[in-house]
Amino acid sequence: MIKHALPVTRDADFAAWYQAVITEADMAEESGVRGCMVIRPWGYGIWERIQRLLDDRIKATGHDNCYFPLFIPLSYFEKEAEHVDGFAKEMAVVTHHRLIADGKGGLVPDPSAKLEEPLVVRPTSETVIGVAFARWVQSWRDLPVLINQWANVVRWEMRTRMFLRTAEFLWQEGHTAHATEAEAREETLRMVEVYRDFAETCVAMPVIVGEKPENERFPGAVGTWSIEAMMQDGKALQAGTSHFLGTNFSSAQGIRFQNKDGQLELAQTTSWGMSTRMIGGLIMVHGDDDGLRVPPRIAPWQIVIVPMLRDNDEDEALIAYAKDIQSNLSTLTALGEPVRALLDLKPAKPATKRWGWVKKGAPIVIEIGGRDMAGGNVSMIRRDRLYRDDGKLDSQVVLRGNFEADAPQLLADIQQALFDQADARLKANIAPVSDWSAIEAMFADGQRNPGWADVAWSKPTGTVLDAIVERLKALKLTLRNVPIGQTAHPDAACIFAGDPAVERVLVGRAY
């Protein structure tokens, strides 16, 4: 039996395993500040790769980056009743702008420096960006406005989990204004498609694109679309959302324009976001019992070179040999970008380094000992195929020239292999279910990875929908989304209400 690198396996305790990956891969840690984490270099390096690749796509679709204030005056929220109801319970409020000594060696907020109007730390920026849009938009010529912001936001969560749900998190939020509903709806779908493409192409994370049911919409939205990814425990993770806001925000904020006929109209707005949550999804889609596995496109380092230094005369030659390989690799292009190869010269034992990089999930680790160098070889470990069939670590001795020549294709293969594994799992774990008792059986206690149920429904609204949501809640289930482009079988009946179905909806447990 293989002795894995993590102290706990996915099968034994998925939640503990998740935390172990974060710790053992040095991705993040508790900060000492309630609900906030410290993102360490490997975790932040992955976020930087996500930023770079997603930002390229956001710009390629015509959006410009801007920056809006961290603080939102209370009164901005008062304009948007439905929106604030969705966030009001969990916002950080700044009330003072100065500290003074309390006379006992401590500090307190200065009572004489109380703000006239408290400021909310942004939980999302629709309100403050809408105020700017109202200034920017006067005529149809000013439309569309297509902007995006990379920022930190704060939602005061009571139960937090690193990357998945933290009080402060990092994200991008796109905000756009358009002259027509058709154009705004097109934008909403364009951006959820950008998220799908990014998730699948870059994070090797297959997702289902669909519209959220009414009860799962963003506060204030007319329609919300999401990408849903399947974690290895069968739960869903909403990894990106795109909202069509209609005129709900523009009417509250006065975003009006003169159309080509000279009449005043309300702009149609959208918003869409993806956050550091994606890193939590990455862990739960690609991690294994030896730690994280990072797809090459988003790996801060794709190939890590570890010379097996022994504090002896041979070290200098080993380092030169390793540097030469690193330098050759860095001139290559893989997956459309220069190869990112690191030479690890930190003072630690080679075995510690090897397992450190395995746990971090670097796609390829190259070890170079004296014997490798003498033979003109390298010893290569592929993170996606760590063990041989006999359970031994699969470290392959390869001629260095061959390795260098093959590295770009190898990285592309690893990217594809990670996607294929995740895609097979997603497909195998979505089950068409046609009656309620089958759902109860599927999600009975003790079932391992029940996945998602794919059911026909009549798209109920209001109190009928509320009742269904309550029934699902008893099984800890939620409605995930209505996959785009699917229709119910014409003869199907709604699994909840029995009336004729109009579409299919995914049901599952979720993060």
Name the site residues for a copy of itself (rule: CB under 8 A). Answer: 29, 31-33, 36-41, 44-45, 47-48, 64-75, 77-78, 84, 88-100, 105-109, 118-121, 128, 131-132, 135, 141, 147, 151-152, 154, 156, 167-168, 170, 347-348
With respect to a copy of itself, which residue has the nearer C-beta, 16 or 93? 93
What is the closest distance, in whole angstroms, from the C-beta atom of residue 150 to a copy of itself in the complex?
Answer: 9
What is the closest distance, in whole angstroms, from the C-beta atom of residue 186 to a copy of itself in the complex?
Answer: 19
Write the CA distances from 316 to 302, 313, 322, 371, 374, integer angstroms. Answer: 24, 7, 10, 15, 14
Q: CA 219 to CA 412: how far, in whole Å? A: 40
What is the closest distance, in whole angstroms, from the C-beta atom of residue 410 to a copy of itself in the complex?
Answer: 25
The closest alpha carbon to 398, from 313, 325, 324, belongs to 325
What is the closest distance, in whole angstroms, from the C-beta atom of residue 246 to a copy of itself in the complex?
Answer: 24
What is the closest distance, in whole angstroms, from the C-beta atom of residue 467 to a copy of itself in the complex?
Answer: 28
223-230 and 303-307: which strand pairing?
unpaired
With respect to a copy of itself, which residue has the nearer C-beta, 72 or 465? 72
With respect to a copy of itself, which residue has the nearer C-beta, 177 or 230? 177
Q: CA 269 to CA 191: how far, in whole Å? A: 13
Write the CA distances from 38 to 6, 27, 31, 33, 294, integer angstroms. Answer: 21, 9, 5, 9, 20
Q: CA 165 to CA 212: how far, in whole Å? A: 20
With respect to a copy of itself, which residue has the nearer C-beta, 153 or 495? 153
Q: CA 289 to CA 3: how far, in whole Å? A: 9
What is the closest distance, in whole angstroms, from the C-beta atom of residue 64 to a copy of itself in the complex?
Answer: 4
With respect to a copy of itself, which residue has the nearer C-beta, 51 or 486? 51
CB contact at 8 A, 25 and 300? no
Task: Give the H/E segment covering residue 396.
Answer: strand 395-399
What is the closest distance, in whole angstroms, from the C-beta atom of residue 157 to a copy of itself in the complex?
Answer: 10
DSSP single-letter state for residue 500: B
With respect to a copy of itself, which residue has the nearer C-beta, 92 or 464? 92
Phi-psi region of 241 (alpha: psi -120 to 50; beta: other; left: phi over 0): beta
With respect to a copy of itself, which residue has the nearer C-beta, 157 or 214? 157
Quote the radius of gyration of the chain (alpha carbons, Å).
Answer: 26
